[in-house]
Amino acid sequence: MNTLRKYFLSAFVATVLSLTLANVAAMAYCDAEDHTEQYSCYNTGEDDCYCYYDCYCYSDQDTCDLALFRNGYSKVME
């Protein structure tokens, strides 16, 4: 009985630690600015999971969109 209790306690502790670490690892890290030849983006806000930027294009829209997508940005239409 004592061994079974240790097993469940170990499993519980492992679960709690993994969920805690996953929560910390899921927090977004946001750069203040990002510049390339095709665009410039400026951080306008952030939350636990996302960074929000205003981006300005220096090339045609399709080239700019491809460069943004390639670097991990996605458009949010307001």
User: Cα separation of 57 and 1, whole Å?
Assistant: 67
Q: How many domains does the chain have?
A: 1
75 domain residue, yes or no: no
Is 50 inside a domain boundary?
yes
Question: Tell me, what's the pLDDT at 47?
Answer: 86
> Alpha-carbon distance 50 to 37, whole Å?
24
pLDDT tens figures, 16-72 = 556 655 544 455 678 888 889 999 999 999 888 888 999 999 999 999 999 999 998
Domain presence at residue 78 = no
Instruction: Report which residue type is found at 63.
Output: T
pLDDT, residue 65, reads 92
Residue 68 · residue 49 · CB < 8 Å:
no
> Is 13 contained in some domain?
yes
pTM, full prediction = 0.58
**Would 27 be classed as within a structural domain?**
yes
Q: Which residues pair with 55 in a beta bridge?
A: 41
Residue-number span of the structural domain to which 30 is assigned: 2-70
Sign of CA dihedral 24, 52, 34, 77: positive
